[in-house]
Amino acid sequence: MKKTLMVAALSGVFATAAHAQSSVTLYGLIDAGITYTNNQNGHSAWQEKSGTLNGSRWGLRGAEDLGGGLKAIFTLENGFNIANGTSGQSSRMFGRQAFVGLSSTQYGAVTLGRQYDSVVDYLAPLSNTGTQYGGTIAAHPYDNDNLNNSVRFNNTIKYSSVNYAGFKFGGTYSFSNSSEFANNRAYSFGASYNWGPLAFAAGYLQLNNDVPAGAFANGNGPASSAAGAQTGEWTFLAGRQRTFGGGVNYTFGPATAGFVYTQTNLGDTLGGGISSTQSGKGSGVAFNGNSARFQNFEGNIRYALTPAISLAGAYTYTRADFGGGVNPNYNTVSLQSDYALSKRTDVYLQGNWQHVSSNSDNIGAFLNGLSSASTRQDQVAVTAGIRHRF
């Protein structure tokens, strides 16, 4: 009898230990709201929106302890539209992220699959758009620097370092998966450093395509899908994109203030422009020369009024050059108030305004994530919504 009880007890211990060595977590976020826009393609609009701030998603995250500080890790993350139940990211099953790899407590992690670039990993958290305090609709014009991860990268190998006393770094390389190795590829690198109340970050991203205005049309490429540029995976119809930037945040008491600068330089843009999804239907935004450029200057602040109530805001000034003497300037403002009903559920009210001044009549204001651009120089959107995390 004693032996039987001992065997049962030991079996329970070993089963618990085995379970502790391997884990899988189901997680997600649902963001739904009502948005009023003063001008979309010439008309005001009331819309139910999914992911106005943060894209709705669910995912599986797992790890297996291999011993010696080494783990096997994976993430599979699906993006979806809560308003109609359809999948996002061009109807991919795991369009937000899908990767597997190894993680070491001494040397960092190496992962392979569909992943975010280093600008998103390191620099975006210091911006307004890369956080829960501004999100999708607060992105810099057309999300030109990808801080809101409009483009995710296929065929990607990523390295992420461990935390060295507040300093972290990493990089990605996205294969073209074609015989033309340098064509239709992408790579990035970035770093961040936290020292007391200060946080610093910088990042660089480059997308290559040797075909002018090809915009990663090869279905096997790092940022593409089989349907090519028409799927909305593209921010720009350009042969080459180089994005770099840096930022700083300073926390004092319940407040955090920050500044982020980014620049995006485009090459081989002759005949190209901004993708229809990014520029709004029928807005006619096109580049007029062989190159284009965006410069973004963002100041942001967030303040915890109480443990449950937070306030946040940001102002971004964007200078652009579309070639041919077309040089629009954008002023974008985002203001948000948020009330936490619990640790997992919050309600928010956010207002966004953009004004574009340009020497071209074809460029209207366009807040990221809306259905259409404004027919005028200004566009205003107000959203009341709810977010639930699980």
For residue 282, the enclosing domain spans: 24-389
pLDDT, tens only, 28-65: 999 999 999 999 999 999 999 999 999 999 999 999 99
What gap in Å lies between CA 273 and CA 285, rounded to an integer? 6
Q: What is the pLDDT of residue 276?
A: 59
Whether residue 13 lies inside any domain: the answer is no
Indicate the average pLDDT of the chain.
Answer: 88
- Answer yes or no: is pLDDT of 231 > 60: no
pLDDT, tens only, 369-379: 998 999 999 99
Whether residue 173 lies inside any domain: the answer is yes
Whether residue 10 lies inside any domain: the answer is no
**The token pair that represents 105 in the structure block:** 């407590």
Dihedral (Cα; 135, 137, 140, 142), 10-degree rounding:
130
Q: What is the pLDDT of residue 223?
A: 52
Whether residue 14 lies inside any domain: the answer is no
Q: What is the pLDDT of residue 365?
A: 94
Three-state SS letters, the chain = CHHHHHHHHHHHHHHHHHHHHEEEEEEEEEEEEEEEEEEECCEEEEEEEECCCCCCEEEEEEEEEEECCEEEEEEEEEEECCCCCCECCCCCCCCCEEEEEEEECCCEEEEEEEECCHHHHHHHHHCCCCCCCCCHHHCCHHHCCCCCCCCCEEEEEEEECCCECCEEEEEEEECCCCCCCCCCEEEEEEEEEEECCEEEEEEEEEEECCCCCCCCCCCCCCCCCCCHHHHCCCCECCCEEEEEEEEEEEEECCEEEEEEEEEEEEECCCCCEECHHHHCCCCCCECCCCEEEEEEEEEEEEEECCCCEEEEEEEEEEEEECECCECCEEEEEEEEEEEECCCCEEEEEEEEEEEEECCCCCCCCCCCCCCCCCCCCEEEEEEEEEEEEC
Place of tokens 């928010």: 348
pLDDT band at 20 (very low <50, low <70, confident <90, very high): low
Whether residue 11 lies inside any domain: the answer is no
- Answer yes or no: is pLDDT of 87 > 70: yes
Q: What is the pLDDT of residue 379?
A: 97
Quick one: average pLDDT of 130-152? Answer: 95
Radius of gyration for the chain, computed over Cα atoms and rounded to the nearest angstrom: 22
Dihedral (Cα; 141, 143, 146, 151), 10-degree rounding:
-150
Half-sphere exposure for 3 (CA within 13 Å, toward CB): 0
pLDDT, tens only, 63-77: 999 999 999 999 999
pLDDT, tens only, 331-353: 999 999 999 999 999 999 999 99
Q: What is the pLDDT of residue 209?
A: 75
Look at residues 35, 74, 66 and name the one whose alpha carbon lies nearest to residue 52.
35
- Answer yes or no: is pLDDT of 5 > 50: no
* Number of structural domains the chain divides into: 1
The CATH number that applies at residue 137 is 2.40.160.10
What gap in Å lies between CA 288 and CA 324, rounded to an integer? 5
**For residues 284-295, b (16+ Cβ closer than 10 Å) or e, as one string?**
ebbbbebbbbbb
**The token pair that represents 153 in the structure block:** 């990268």
Q: What is the pLDDT of residue 3?
A: 47
- Answer yes or no: is pLDDT of 203 > 70: yes
Whether residue 8 lies inside any domain: the answer is no
Stretch among 13-17, 270-274, 292-296, 316-320 having the lowest mean pLDDT = 13-17
Q: What is the pLDDT of residue 222?
A: 55
pLDDT, tens only, 186-197: 999 999 999 999
What gap in Å lies between CA 79 and CA 279, rounded to an integer? 22
pLDDT band at 233 (very low <50, low <70, confident <90, very high): low
pLDDT band at 176 (very low <50, low <70, confident <90, very high): confident
Burial class of residue 349 (count of CB atoms within 10 Å of its CB; 0-12, 13-18, 19+): middle
Highest mean pLDDT: which of 152-156, 217-221, 282-286? Answer: 152-156
- Answer yes or no: is pLDDT of 11 > 80: no
**Cα 143 to Cα 27, 169, 189, 236, distances in angstroms:** 26, 23, 19, 10
Whether residue 358 lies inside any domain: the answer is yes
Whether residue 296 lies inside any domain: the answer is yes
What gap in Å lies between CA 7 and CA 12, rounded to an integer? 9
